[in-house]
Amino acid sequence: MTTVTEHLEALLERIVPVDTVTVPLSEAHGLVLTQDVTSPVDLPRFANSAMDGYAVLSSEIAEASPESPQLVPVRGDIAAGDGQPHTHRPGTCWRILTGAPVPEGCDAVVRVEDTDGNPHEVLIKAAVEAGANVRPAGEDVRAGAVILRAGTRIGPTQLAVLAAAGVAQVSVTGPVRVAVLSSGDELVPVGEPVGPGQIHDSNGPMLAALVRAAGHFAVHAGHLPDDAKAVSKEIEHHQDYADLVITTGGVSKGGSYDAVKAALTGAGSMEFTEVSMQPGKPQGFGLLGKREVPVFTLPGNPVSVLVSFEVFVRPALAARAGMRYSPVTMPAVVAQGWSSPEGRQQYHRVRLSRDVSGSYAAEPVSGPGSHLVGGLAQADGLAVIPAEVTEVATGSQVLVLPLRPVAEIEADLQAARQDGDGDAADGAGRGQGAR
């Protein structure tokens, strides 16, 4: 069997970022720059006042002090946004507001607190050094300087500097559009009634949410019947527009009902692989069609789907989006041991609490069955158990892949502590977010 690492490395080698597109700044949040961005302007764009006060030529008020204030005529007011070309006239000053352009010839601003605030003839009670309370043009960024490097993901503060510099559009690795397809004649979308032998599809909504929460676009979530020809046709349709396709189910040992495996065997570069992991052993991956769309065929059980997403699809999506990716794991102490199959890397659902030392304690939730979606919804993370380990001893340390935002887990743990019981052993008093 292929190891998790081998399978992941092999598939990541075949994934290239989607094409570069140019988007307006309003659509750039979360996308990755494909080119260095230089500022077309100085930032600040022009010397402006850091304070409300009076713009002066500092040498002209060098003798001013609280004991001997200096009376200076005020030529007028300059507000932020004032577009007039004001200049200094010797022996005078301008009243100026924060952010307003400092007039040509003035070199400092006296804070309003160091004056009597008079709008016509101001008593200045303190000398200032040249440059005081002035933000010089280009102090922050020089015109022509690189403000963001290629490879940077555009978050809120990156949007701020791009906007400040007036960069109205950027070249980015395009948004990754993902089609999610659940297979099986037994599946009915939630909201529609189920008949005998049928079940509601849970993989579709879960995967669409995982894709969105990872910052990508789940543009279609639909259904594949248990019919290989129909599956082929449907997937051909999605590979025309999607940047990545994820299917679930229909990939068991190759029975005639395993329509996804039957449809895709031999298609493009599809390969079906047994990976030495639990759950998630039957993995399929390949590039399909002339757009070479990466297609993942995941197993059908919800826990297998989730684990496969975390281990293989999430890094692949990041690569497709041009992002660097590194899984974050949280070390935890095992509060109650369990066993793990020999020769397979196990991903065990755990709930986290705090142990007496303040470390995370991991407690298994739910049984071993990968169809147990009820327990899955109670898990904070997946404990990653190396293939060579068969007994996960109580008290041993494991690494946990979080399934919820760490801040959310922390907030629940804090709520638990405030309830007066953050004890690991019974989980009582934990936040309401966990049972």
Which residues from 262-291 bind a copy of itself, rule CB under 8 A?
none
Does position 428 interact with a copy of itself (CB under 8 A)? The reply is: no
Per-residue x/- marks for a copy of itself, 292-311, CB under 8 A?
Answer: --------x-x---x-----
How many other β-carbons are positioned within 10 Å of the β-carbon of residue 224? 25
When the beta carbons of 331 and 395 are compared against a copy of itself, the nearer one is 331
Location of structure tokens 């047994």: 274
Tokens, residue 177? 């559009």
- Angstrom distance (rounded) from CA 427 to CA 433: 12
**Distance of alpha carbon 375 from alpha carbon 402, whole angstroms:** 15
Binding to a copy of itself in span 25-84, by CB under 8 A? 25-26, 29, 39, 43-46, 50, 52, 79-84
Residue from 13, 66, 85, 90 touching a copy of itself (CB under 8 A): that is 85
Give the integer Cα–Cα distance in Å for 265 and 287. 12
Could you tell me the smallest distance in angstroms from the CB atom of residue 7 to a copy of itself?
20
Q: Which is nearer to a copy of itself, 82 or 355 (CB)?
A: 82
Rounded to the nearest whole angstrom, what is the least distance from the CB of residue 290 to a copy of itself in the complex?
31
Tally Cβ neighbours within 10 Å of residue 2: 16
Min CB(275)–a copy of itself separation in Å: 18
- Of residues 174-203, those binding a copy of itself (CB under 8 A): 184-187, 190-191, 194-203
172 binds a copy of itself (CB under 8 A): no
Task: Please report whether residue 112 would count as binding a copy of itself according to CB under 8 A.
Answer: yes
Residue 51 CB, shortest distance to a copy of itself, in Å, is 8
Q: How far is the CB of 125 from a copy of itself (least distance, A)?
A: 17
The distance of Cα 1 from the centroid of its chain, to the nearest Å, equals 33
Q: How many CB atoms lie within 10 A of CB 279?
A: 22
Q: Which of residues 314-353 bind a copy of itself (CB under 8 A)?
A: 323-328
Instruction: Give the count of residues interacting with a copy of itself (CB under 8 A).
Output: 115
CB 300, min distance to a copy of itself, A: 7
Map the footprint of a copy of itself across residues 130-169, applying CB under 8 A.
135, 139-141, 146-153, 155-168
**Nearest to a copy of itself of 288, 303 (CB atom):** 303
Query: Residue 374: which H helix or E strand, with range?
Result: helix 373-376
Hunting for tokens 């009820």 — which residue is that? Answer: 374
User: Which of 2, 20, 38, 98 forms a contact with a copy of itself (CB under 8 A)?
Assistant: 98
- For the bound state, the minimum distance from the C-beta of residue 218 to a copy of itself, rounded and expressed in Å, comes to 10
Closest CB 206 distance from a copy of itself, rounded Å: 4
Smaller CB separation from a copy of itself, 49 or 70: 49
Specify burial of residue 265 (Cβ count, 10 A radius: 0-12, 13-18, 19+): middle
178 - beta bridge partners?
Answer: 218, 244
Q: Which candidate, 24, 295, 330, places its Cα nearest to that of 178? A: 295
Cα–Cα distance, 303 to 369 (Å, whole number): 8
Q: Which member of 31, 58, 60, 101 binds a copy of itself (CB under 8 A)? A: 101
Cα 414 to Cα 220, 379, 403, 429, 433, distances in angstroms = 38, 17, 18, 10, 12
Whichever of 14 and 223 has its CB closer to a copy of itself, that residue is 223
CB 261 within 8 A of CB 250: yes
Rounded Cα distance, 78 and 361, in Å: 61
Q: Is 308 exposed, middle or buried (0-12, 13-18, 19+ CB in 10 A)?
A: buried
Only one residue has tokens 């009634």, namely 193
Q: Quick one: 9 or 410, whose CB is closer to a copy of itself? A: 410
Task: State the DSSP code for 416.
Answer: H
Q: At closest approach, how far in Å is the CB of 66 from a copy of itself?
A: 19
Q: How far is the CB of 179 from a copy of itself (least distance, A)?
A: 16
Shortest Cβ distance from residue 434 to a copy of itself (Å)?
A: 8
The β-bridge partners of 346 are 278, 385
Judged by beta carbon, residue 43 or residue 398, the one nearer a copy of itself is 43
In angstroms, what CA-CA distances link 37 with 28, 145, 226? 13, 8, 49
Nearer to a copy of itself, 287 or 330 (CB): 330
User: How far apart are alpha carbons 137 and 192 in whole angstroms?
Assistant: 62
| Subset of residues 230 to 259 that bind a copy of itself, contact rule: CB under 8 A | 252-253, 255, 257
Site residues (CB under 8 A) for a copy of itself, limited to 356-415: 366-367, 369, 371-377, 379, 403-404, 406-408, 410-415
